[in-house]
Amino acid sequence: MTNNIVSPVNKDWIVFLDGEYLNFSNATFLANTQALNYGTGIFEGIRAYWDQDNNQLNLFRVHEHYERLIQSAKTLKIELPYTSQELTDITKNIIIKNGFKQDIYIRPLALKKSLMPGEKFGVKLSGVNSTLCINALPMGAYAKKAEFKCLISKWRRVSNAAIPSSAKITGTYVNSALAHEDAKENGFDDAIMLNEQGMCAEASTSNIFIVKDNCVITPSLSAGILNGITRQSVFDICKFRNIPCIESEIQQKDLYEADACFLTGTGLEISIVSQIDNVLYIQKEDSIANVIAKDYQEIIRGRIDQFSHWLNPVY
């Protein structure tokens, strides 16, 4: 996997922190920040795509991302005094101030910051003030490999009964890091995690789909997974293409017996899996997985009118 995030030409680009637009070098957190100590933060990953034909940069499904951030904030009792539209406007301001005219990745990050006066030291959600930072950087294709190999991880997906999977909580991602690192050390590109019941949940930072007998299948939310924005987009693309798409339990053997497999996420977009463990998938140019992946690329570039409402222009 190639992480194609690069720093802007201007080494001290503009970010948003606590109501101010600051140079990146001035946007700092103290060592006693609660979220750095206890993982009590939330985040989103948002993409914006450059439309060369129309000289425009389009945010992709930005309101869905910010609505989820707002819901995640409620889960951790993080004060987030902005609406989805206000957060979108702030994001556009950051982009304009930096003059970005290429594909970019936006990272909103809301954290538990410091204990309020009189609060006793400890792990807590109440009595802790909050901070919001939004950063944006140029980002091309995240996964550029023709072959994308996955390993069934020895690490299980954190149970929804332990940490709610509906929220993108920073501390949860140590689970993802352990699984991903194990996969890389064994020569694979990513990990697929099972849940506590031994059913397929998701990859380290993305949702998973399989194709079997011309039907697209993905685990339901009850498997303890994040309801990814790209995951939701696949449902709509399948409906657009009249491709059957269902939510169902997926066993490990179903992964091995599938006709195809692909991962979805803001960073990965839609990435076709070539191998799981020692099982190779036959790659076909006209396969359902490839049709969906190609449609997605056309949609993010504004070339399919039925999905133009997913794009929010910056300039």
For residue 269, the model assigns a pLDDT of 97
Options 3.20.10.10, 1.10.1040.50, 1.10.10.10, 3.90.1170.10; CATH of 149-300: 3.20.10.10
Predicted confidence (pLDDT) per residue in 102-153, tens digit:
999 999 999 999 999 999 988 999 999 999 999 999 998 766 667 899 999 9
CATH class of residue range 14-138: alpha beta
Enumerate residues 6+ apart whose C-beta is below 8 A from 112.
33, 34, 35, 38, 40, 41, 76, 78, 125, 128, 129, 130
Kindly report the pTM of this predicted structure: 0.94
pLDDT digits (tens, 9 = 90+) for 236-257: 999 999 999 999 999 999 999 9
In contact, 287 and 281? CB cutoff 8 Å? no
According to the model, what pLDDT value does residue 201 have? 99
Q: For residue 6, what pLDDT is reported? A: 52
As beta bridge partners, residue 218 has: 247
**By C-alpha distance, which of 10, 9, 13, 31 is closest to 22?**
13
pLDDT score at 2 = 43
Q: Which residues of the chain have pLDDT under 70?
A: 1-11, 142-145
Q: Domain limits of the chain?
A: 14-138, 149-300
